[in-house]
Amino acid sequence: MTPGVVLTIAGSDPTAGAGIQADLKTFAAYRLYGCSVITAVTSQNTRGVDDVFPVPATVVGTQLAAVLSDFRPAAVKVGMLATAEIAAVVAAKAREGALPNLVLDPVLSSSSGFRLGVTAAVKRLLPYATVITPNRDEASALLGWQVASPADMAGAAGQLAAEGAKYVVVTGGDAAGDEAIDAMWTPHGARFLHAPRVATRNTHGTGCTFAAAIAARLALGDSVPDALASAKEYVTRALQAAAGWQLGGGQGPLNHLGF
């Protein structure tokens, strides 16, 4: 049987814990065929990001054109955009209807604080996104006010939905407590996604993986609420399966493939 296709548009992580590499592993875990368009080359490891080299927007455009002229993705995950020019290229394709079931993970900075994207670039894509998945810090940057509590997260999700996205999930899994709680805004109002917190230092790429898993489930035909719930479960399992790993000296990667 020919597998379904999912496209990731994102930056490269040489340690394969986040970005393009994590997305492709996530798609493979769902038995889907992953294609990729690289927006930036990063120099990073589990301890942090040292450098970011944005790919010229024209090259991002030719990558997109090459893939879309030959493959028909059922869903698209967009991660780090790096520059407003790259965002404009991606938004143009989205406007044409060439990027179905678009899941936008607004990667604005790494966990070490290195700036990876620009707010204006992310906002270009909001009207075309089926789902956006900012964490609390990214939601704060997009909205201009501090998002902290679960109530804040729900309010931020609603405000971002008002700016164009159909579904918004503000993730808060890095907050203190016994549960990893995400706030979701749907056309029917706010609700929360709950999962037990996993005691592990291996959390590198969690946001990328969550967004990629949503795209995978949408490609398989799930409704958005079902895709969100499935992605939450997948990330929890990947965290649990990697909890004892000793890869790298900082925040290690998830176990995307369950080995």
Cα 134–Cα 155–Cα 214 angle in degrees, nearest 5: 35
Give 64's pLDDT tier (boundaries 50, 70, 90).
Answer: very high
What is the distance between the alpha carbons of residues 78 and 87, in angstroms, rounded to a whole number? 10
Least Cα distance to 240 among 212, 200, 213, 206 occurs for: 200
Return the number of other C-beta atoms located less than 10 Å from residue 258's C-beta.
Answer: 10
Give the domain ranges of the chain: 5-241
Q: Read off the pLDDT of residues 6-20 as tens digits, 9 standing for 90 and up.
A: 999 999 999 999 999
Lowest model confidence (mean pLDDT) among 66-70, 168-172, 177-181:
177-181
What is the distance between the alpha carbons of residues 93 and 234, in angstroms, rounded to a whole number? 29
Helices (H), the chain: 19-29, 57-68, 84-95, 119-125, 136-143, 150-162, 206-219, 224-241
The pair of structure tokens assigned to 232 is 């939450």
Q: Give pLDDT, residue 93.
A: 96
What is the distance between the alpha carbons of residues 236 and 252, in angstroms, rounded to a whole number? 15
Q: Give pLDDT, residue 117.
A: 65
Residue 46 scores a pLDDT above 80? yes
Q: Give pLDDT, residue 191.
A: 87
Higher pLDDT, 83 or 113: 83
The pair of structure tokens assigned to 165 is 């996205």
Q: What are phi and psi of 159, to 5 degrees?
A: -65, -40
Q: Give pLDDT, residue 38.
A: 98
Residues 6+ apart with CB under 8 A from 34: 5, 6, 7, 8, 23, 24, 27, 28
Q: Average of pLDDT values for 41-57?
A: 93
Residues 6+ apart with CB under 8 A from 256: 22, 25, 26, 28, 29, 209, 238
Token pair 């607004």: residue: 106
What is the distance between the alpha carbons of residues 4 and 6, in angstroms, rounded to a whole number? 7
Q: Give pLDDT, residue 116.
A: 61
Residue 174 scores a pLDDT above 60? no
Q: Read off the pLDDT of residues 209-255 as tens digits, 9 standing for 90 and up.
A: 999 999 999 999 999 999 999 999 999 999 999 999 999 999 999 99
Q: Read off the pLDDT of residues 25-40 as tens digits, 9 standing for 90 and up.
A: 999 999 999 999 999 9
* 253 contacts 22 by C-beta, under 8 angstroms: yes
11, 21, 108, 120, 147 from 113: Cα distances, Å: 16, 21, 9, 18, 17
Q: Give pLDDT, residue 189.
A: 85
Q: Give pLDDT, residue 112.
A: 47
What is the distance between the alpha carbons of residues 79 and 25, in angstroms, rounded to a whole number? 15
Q: Read off the pLDDT of residues 108-152 as tens digits, 9 standing for 90 and up.
A: 765 545 556 678 778 889 999 999 999 988 898 888 889 988 889
- What percent of the chain clears pLDDT 70, i.e. is strictly above it? 95
- Mean pLDDT in the chain? 91
Largest separation between any pair of C-alpha atoms in the chain: 48
* 98 contacts 117 by C-beta, under 8 angstroms: no
What topology does CATH give the domain 5-241?
Answer: UDP-N-acetylmuramoyl-L-alanine:D-glutamate ligase (3.40.1190)
Least Cα distance to 218 among 79, 87, 77 occurs for: 77
What is the distance between the alpha carbons of residues 28 and 130, in angstroms, rounded to a whole number? 22
Residue 42 scores a pLDDT above 90? yes
Higher pLDDT, 81 or 175: 81
Higher pLDDT, 77 or 186: 77
